[in-house]
Each structure stands twice: as structure tokens, then as C-alpha cells.
Amino acid sequence: MKTLFGELADGTKVSSWFLENGGTRLRVLDYGGIVQSLEIPDRDGRYANVSLGFDTIEDYIAGSPYFGALIGRYGNRVAEGRFTLDGENHQLPLNDGAHSLHGGTEGFDRRVWEVEPFTDGPDVGLHLYLTSVDGEMGYPGTLEVKVTYTLTGGGDWRIDYEATTDKATFVNLTSHVYWNLAGEGTGSVQDHELEIAASRYLPVDPGLIPTGEPADVAGTPFDFREAKAIGRDLRVAHQQLLYSKGVDHNYVLDKGLTARPEHAAGLRDPSSGRTLTIATTEPGLQFYSGNFLDGTLVGTGGNIYRQGDALCLETQRFPDSPNQPSFPSTLLRPGQTYRTTTIHSFGC
């Protein structure tokens, strides 16, 4: 079902698309491919929206920290917004201190996507299309992007990313949903129990750029190999936590880069019983513990979002890969097709 959500300053209309299948309800904006809400039931069958968002397009434009958005052309940080490709230097916009974050000042989260609904047997979904022209936000090559959101008959939310280019470029697409399985606006997620299938993570410098060498999670606050409450170790005196005011780090998934989605993480809210399991083809998972939510944003439920009121689990390649050749490559050349898949499974 498609409805009018709002209008941009240039008169472009923004639509909202509603999908329901297998007990999951999903509302998506064509602006930024944003998941405005995702509703699932608790152990007693009561529905709640478990993703943070806004009620108006004006709020998304004015102050969204990427709530629910599709991120591109490059998810996460690129050091000093610079990289060299085939002997040519490229400069990106700096929108995170001295670095470029999530595609720059006008990333894919601020573009209006073309949307095509579909039904495929027991599944329903949306195809989202976007063309990013050569030189946009400093990236070379015209990139043709297709992202498919599918709600399966079993209630899973599946994301399939595809992209092709006419010139060598770097690509790292992801989704930036802020999760609170108790329901958005209900308060802190520090009692949520999180498990990440990763024995190593990427330490960062003060600008949150990976230093290059993965470190073992064993004996650190970053160890989520067995499920534990998110808040259990957040106040441990560890330099990496001080840099990011919590966790904002990329985990090196034990499974690595895989042809088919494999288990990456699990999340559980003890109060409602709701669970989220993530499987992906990607080798990395950025865990962000909502450190920079500062009490200045009012969400869809009319409540203020404060630090730690949600978390993000972003499947992706590693940050700053264009400048770190030891990391899994994000290079896409003409004739190649970028493809990744992430599946979110819900339960209680």
C-alpha cells in the first residue's frame, strides 16, 4: 500500500510503502529507502515498532542520524575522505570531523529512490532503484543500484543489494536501522542480550578509523561470542570505549565473506521476549550502541531518544577499506556485479 508521506523543498513528493507478511509489518519511505517502522509481536502477541524513526519528512531532512536508511555509496568511514584508485586521487566530502561518513553530505540516505512493489509466491516486497552519477560525492563511475526488500512468508526481512558501474569505484552498501526490541521510545537497550559470531574486532584511532590490525575480543568489553547484556561492560575503563563513548566498532565475523547468508548475530529483549537473528554474506558487522543519541530528537512514538536507547547492527565490508589493502576489497569494476544479502529473522 502506497501513501503520501511528505514533500521536499523542490516539490518532489515522498511516498510511504506498507508491507505485511508472516506476522511482520514494514513501512518504507522512498526517501533514503528508509525503514520508518518495523512492527513485530511480543510473547503475548502485542505488536510494537522496534525501529527508531520520525513522523515527518522534515524531521528526517533536518536531523536524522541515518534512522532506518539505506547507506551508500560507501557505508562507514573513509579516512580524510581520500583514496587513490588506478593512480588517480579522489576527494570526498568531510562530514564526520576530518573524515567522510556514509557516502558524504548527500549520500543515498538523502536521495529519492524509484520503488516497484512485487509479489513472489508467499513473499512480498519492494525493488528500490537509484542511479548515482560519475563524480557524485567524489566517487568515480556511474553506479546503478538495486536494493530489494522482501518480507517472506515466514516473516523474515531480507535485503538483497546489487550494483554495477561503468568505471572502477568503491562500494559498501548497508542498512542503518536502530533497533529497540522492547519498542522504540521505551528507553535503554542496555539490558538487551547480544551475541556476535566474531572472535576479533577492529580497534580504532580517536577519529574512529580502524588502525588496521584486528584484535582478539577475548578478555575485553568487546567479547559477545556468548550472549550478554549490552550494558554489562560498557563502563569498563577501556580506551576503545572512551574513543567512541561506547561501542562503535566493526566486528570481523568468524565466517568471513560467504556465498550464502550465514549467522552473524543474535539479539534478545528479556522484557518482551522478542528476538532478532541476523545472517549475512558480508564479512563485517558494525555494532553501534547508540552512543551519540543526545536527547534532542523526538521519535515516532512522541518520546525523546537518549543515549543507549537503540543499537545498530550494520552488515558490511570493513571501514576505510579503500585505504587498507589488507581488508576485504570493496572495489567494483565495469563488468562486475556487486551483490550482498542480509536476512533479519524475528521471533519471541
Q: Which residues are catalytic?
A: 176, 314
Classify residue 219 as exposed, middle or buried by CB count within 10 Å of its CB (0-12, 13-18, 19+). exposed
For residue 63, what is its C-alpha cell?
536531523
Torsion 100-101-105-111 (CA) sign: positive
Amino acid letter, residue 8: L
Nearest Cα neighbor of 346 from 268, 260, 261 is: 268
Long-range contact list for 20-23, CB < 8 A, 24+ apart?
20/124, 20/151, 21/122, 21/123, 21/124, 21/151, 21/152, 21/153, 21/155, 22/151, 22/152, 22/153, 22/154, 22/155, 22/156, 23/155, 23/346
Question: Rounded CA gap, 152 and 146, in Å?
Answer: 19
- Please answer whether residues 273 and 282 qualify as being in contact, where contact means their C-beta atoms are separated by less than 8 angstroms: no
Q: Give the Cα separation of 266 and 116 in Å (integer).
A: 31
Radius of gyration of the chain (CA): 19
Give DSSP secondary structure letters for 283-302: SEEEEE--TT--S-EE-TTS
Determine the Cα–Cα distance for residues 51 and 127; give it in Å rounded to an integer.
21
Residue 62's SS3 state is helix
